């Protein structure tokens, strides 16, 4: 592996990790919210799923409008917290997080909906309040869903292209992930070898990710077989 390949691989992993770790608590909260009944649920649900159907370039551009140095949120972040997102590694993580957020929410929401509410009632009669029940019963029971969501989102983050290049640019060593590096390489003549290397790395990463997901899901299920 040469420096460019190694750098792109490290960057891809780093961006993907930041993205899923950052979005996980929000995804759990959003999944929970979407299992509740409230006015405007349809609107919230649509907004969450929008990145799935919008062209990624549009999502990237909207992010640029909001989080760019002249955007409403971006300006505030820069002035008050000295945080710059556009064209940075954290920006790339934000873009991938927004893109993979619906996948994570979907997976967690599905397992939340599968929870046996009679167990929560039992916990209630045993003296467990709302937060207590969520931490001691709900969270452990949806762990397989959380893990599945994390892995899917992580895998999707590794390959995110359009939103990242629009919002964070294609800066080697800062925002140039595997997919972006491959795109750059393909623009140059006589670079088939390098391109094939990047393809091989991407594929290995994907296969490893899928195997890990399968293994983790099985492991967590083993502890959670319902008795009834």
Question: What is the contact surface with another protein in residues (CB under 8 A)?
Answer: 118-119, 121-129, 132, 136-137, 140-141, 223-228
Helices (H), 114-191: 117-125, 130-133, 139-141, 143-158, 162-167, 178-187
Beta carbons within 10 angstroms of residue 221's beta carbon = 12
Beta carbons within 10 angstroms of residue 70's beta carbon = 10
State the Cα–Cα distance between residues 96 and 184, nearest whole angstrom: 19
> Cβ 131 to another protein, closest distance in Å?
11
State the Cα–Cα distance between residues 183 and 185, nearest whole angstrom: 6
Choice between 13 and 119, CB closer to another protein: 119
> Cβ 126 to another protein, closest distance in Å?
4
> Cβ 28 to another protein, closest distance in Å?
17
> Cβ 132 to another protein, closest distance in Å?
7
Contact 146, 21 (CB under 8 A): no
State the Cα–Cα distance between residues 10 and 19, nearest whole angstrom: 14
Choice between 187 and 228, CB closer to another protein: 228
Alpha-carbon distances, residue 214 vs 17, 147, 155, 159 (angstroms): 19, 10, 13, 19
- CA gyration radius, the chain: 20
Choice between 29 and 140, CB closer to another protein: 140
Choice between 81 and 225, CB closer to another protein: 225
Choice between 41 and 130, CB closer to another protein: 130
> Cβ 40 to another protein, closest distance in Å?
27
């Amino acid at each position: 592996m040469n420096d460019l390949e190694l750098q792109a691989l490290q960057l891809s992993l780093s961006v993907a990790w930041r993205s899923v770790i950052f979005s996980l608590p929000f995804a759990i909260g959003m999944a929970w919210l979407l299992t509740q009944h409230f006015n405007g649920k349809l609107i919230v649900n649509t907004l969450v799923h929008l990145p799935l159907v919008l062209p990624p370039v549009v999502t990237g551009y909207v992010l640029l409008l909001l989080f760019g140095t002249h955007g409403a949120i971006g300006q505030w972040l820069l002035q008050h917290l000295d945080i710059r997102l556009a064209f940075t590694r954290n920006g790339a993580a934000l873009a991938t997080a927004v893109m993979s957020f619906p996948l994570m929410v979907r997976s967690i929401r599905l397992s939340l909906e599968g929870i046996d509410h009679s167990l929560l009632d039992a916990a209630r009669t045993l003296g467990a309040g709302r937060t207590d029940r969520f931490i001691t019963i709900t969270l452990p029971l949806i762990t397989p869903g959380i893990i599945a969501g994390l892995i899917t989102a992580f895998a999707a983050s590794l390959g995110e292209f359009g939103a990242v290049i629009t919002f964070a640019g294609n800066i080697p060593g800062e925002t140039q992930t595997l997919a972006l590096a491959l795109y750059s390489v393909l623009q140059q003549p006589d670079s088939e070898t390098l391109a094939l290397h990047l393809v091989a790395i991407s594929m290995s990463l994907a296969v490893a990710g899928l195997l890990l997901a399968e293994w983790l899901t099985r492991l967590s299920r083993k502890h959670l077989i319902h008795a009834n």
